[in-house]
Amino acid sequence: MTAAGDNGRPGRPERLGARDLVHLVLDDGTFTEWVDDIPDPPADATYAAALQAARARTGMTESVLTGHGTLHGRRVAVVAGEFRFLAGSIGVAAAERLVLAVERATRERLPLLAATASGGTRMQEGTVAFLQMVKITAALAAHKAAGLPYLVYLRHPTTGGVFASWGSLGHVTVAEPGALIGFLGPRVHEALHGVPFPDGVQVAEHLFACGLVDAVLPPDQLPAIAARALRVLAGTQGTAGDEGAGVTDARPAPVEDRATPADAPVPGTAWDSVVRSRRPDRPGVRSLLRIAGADVLPLNGTGAGEAHPGLLLALARFGDEPCVLLAQDLPRQVQTRLLGPEALRQARRGMSLARDLSLPLVTVIDTPGAALTVQAEEGGLAGEIARSLADLVTLPSPTLAVLLGQGSGGGALALAPGDRVVAAQHAWLSPLPPEGASAILHRSADQAPRLAQRQGIDAWSLHQVGIVDRIVAERPDAADEPDAFCRRLGAVLAEELATLRRSDPATRMTARRERYRRLGLIRSTQGAAAPPPAGQPDR
């Protein structure tokens, strides 16, 4: 734990106080403070005098400010630490005020915004103050279990028990530029160990590089990013004039995504799709989000010290439909490194987010394959694929899988299960790249085109065996019409998400299990509907 007053290195710019920050973030004139009559803990004369001086200096009765207001018209609860009040340290009274605010936010079903600025536990109150972090964490766990958003802004400085409790539990976590953020403050480290803590480690920007925070932004950018996050995480609940209604139940206009003979070629060979999917100018997930997404908010890393540039985790909307998006970013895999175990741990963070907030999960498959390296093996790649599959097939939230381009090996398999599966016309899914399958069976890559056809890896074949539900046309190739293709795919995703959102959860989960339980089994065709003709996949 850090001592009160351990505010890190000198020379940092003056920071906004808690009240100023709250007024900056919330809509003008809407903040109402929650005032609780909480008695002071027992205090000797020195501590009592310090409390009185802090109150005179800040105009606050404790080190946390709590209340509610509106953000872009949405009612929210806020808790903010005031560093000028005994270094923002948390004692019994401060913790009680904070917990009462969290419990009230949960009771009133309000999203909760938190801004930390603290040296940690209040040393004057000892162990009883130290253990207040338990009840704070319990209150936040209950808030999140109720399906309510929790957004955190880590300010300079945030250390000790505050960082190790309410500072590290956000669904989305943003840090202040240059902020000192760490568990053990540098002053304490030097006092205990006799040497300074290394420079540059406990700094917001370094935490971002390590995948521990989602963004580093100055205070004036908080209203926009918080509002964007809440439009996805909380939909229209709590917005002005909404009276607590949920997301609109209107169904998007039907989308014509079938590749009909009038505007698309007759299905070609599987190898033709493989070749087209490998075009370097083929639109990937970032093009899809730029053209067809809304309120896109990229998240960063696992939150546990890992990040992978080839796995994009984001909050987004397609049409009016919010979702958590997990997407394999093909160009970044090619430019940096293929998907390793840390990428799947990052993906599983997204699955947890969807579960916490009952949001649909959209997975986008576009990968040449997982990493085949010593580091990937030692990092438990196979186990992470298995855990990703287990999380996906048991996830209570609706799941929508999208085959966007290449779908090779275990990296693709890890994100492939879904309640519904949509495929681009020239997407494919295979245990290995066709060349690898040919090498296994023929000791040469020469038979790759023939094997691709024989294995049925293309979207048309996958549709006929029930792996793919819907094919989105490429006219004739997504790389030749990137904007139109992305708009068409985005509209299909909006329609599919709206249908999934209206589905009965128990029925949906049963159908998901049955889908994969019977996949590939030979069954009687008596009375079964004939498969749709090639080029005319069912929706």
Residue 486 is assigned to a structural domain of this protein: yes
What residue type is assigned to position 240 of the chain? A
> Is residue 283 located within the same domain as residue 219?
no
Residue 262 is assigned to a structural domain of this protein: no
Give percent of the chain above pLDDT 90.
76
Q: Which of 233, 255, 281 is the last residue of a domain?
A: 233
Beta carbons within 10 angstroms of residue 277's beta carbon: 25
Residue 341 is assigned to a structural domain of this protein: yes
Report pLDDT for 41.
86
Q: In this model, does residue 10 exceed pLDDT 80? A: no
384-426 pLDDT tens trace = 999 999 999 999 999 999 999 999 999 999 999 999 999 999 9
> Is residue 444 located within the same domain as residue 355?
yes
Residue 172 is assigned to a structural domain of this protein: yes
Q: How far is CA 348 from the centre of its chain?
A: 9
Residue 529 is assigned to a structural domain of this protein: no
> Is residue 435 located within the same domain as residue 498?
yes
**Mean pLDDT within 108-114:** 98
Q: In this model, does residue 518 exceed pLDDT 70? A: yes
Higher local confidence (pLDDT), 492 or 527? 492
> Is residue 227 located within the same domain as residue 283?
no
> Is residue 220 located within the same domain as residue 363?
no
Q: In this model, does residue 148 exceed pLDDT 80? A: yes
Report pLDDT for 8.
39
> Is residue 229 located within the same domain as residue 276?
no
Q: Which of 233, 248, 279 is the last residue of a domain?
A: 233
Q: In this model, does residue 285 exceed pLDDT 80? A: yes
> Is residue 450 located within the same domain as residue 351?
yes
Q: What is the end-to-end Cα distance of the chain in Å, rounded?
A: 57
Residue 313, SS3?
Answer: strand
Q: For residue 122, what are the contacts with CB-CB under 8 A and spacing of at least 6?
A: 4, 63, 86, 89, 90, 91, 94, 129
pTM for the model stands at 0.87
What residue type is assigned to position 192 of the chain? L
Q: In this model, does residue 244 exceed pLDDT 70? A: no
- Among 144, 166, 143, smallest CA distance to 154 is for 166
Q: In the chain, count H helices and then E strands.
A: 21, 15
Alpha helix segments (H runs only) across 174-322: 186-193, 204-209, 222-233, 270-277, 285-292
Q: In this model, does residue 230 exceed pLDDT 60? A: yes
**Overall domain count for the chain:** 2
CA dihedral for 330, 336, 340, 346, sign (positive or negative):
negative
Report pLDDT for 249.
35
Report pLDDT for 14.
62
Q: In this model, does residue 536 exceed pLDDT 50? A: no
Range of the domain at 116: 18-233
Q: Which of 210, 233, 256 is the last residue of a domain?
A: 233
158-211 pLDDT tens trace = 999 999 999 999 999 999 999 999 987 777 777 777 888 788 889 999 999 999
Residue 522 is assigned to a structural domain of this protein: no
> Is residue 321 located within the same domain as residue 208?
no
Q: In this model, does residue 532 exceed pLDDT 90? A: no
How far apart (Å, rounded) are the C-alpha atoms in residues 62 and 47? Answer: 13
φ, ψ for residue 400 (rounded to 5)? -130, 115
pLDDT band at 114 (very low <50, low <70, confident <90, very high): very high
Report pLDDT for 239.
57
Residue 451 is assigned to a structural domain of this protein: yes
Least confident of 104-113, 204-213, 516-525: 516-525
> Is residue 228 located within the same domain as residue 274?
no
> Is residue 274 located within the same domain as residue 216?
no
Q: Residues 311, 346: contact at Cβ < 8 Å?
A: yes
Q: What is the CATH number of the domain that holds 187?
A: 3.90.226.10
> Is residue 203 located within the same domain as residue 305?
no
Report pLDDT for 257.
57
R_g of the chain, CA atoms, integer Å: 26
What secondary structure letter does DSSP report for 28? T
Higher local confidence (pLDDT), 41 or 350? 350
pLDDT band at 304 (very low <50, low <70, confident <90, very high): confident
Least confident of 133-147, 193-207, 471-485: 193-207
pLDDT band at 248 (very low <50, low <70, confident <90, very high): very low
> Is residue 205 located within the same domain as residue 314?
no
Residue 525 is assigned to a structural domain of this protein: no
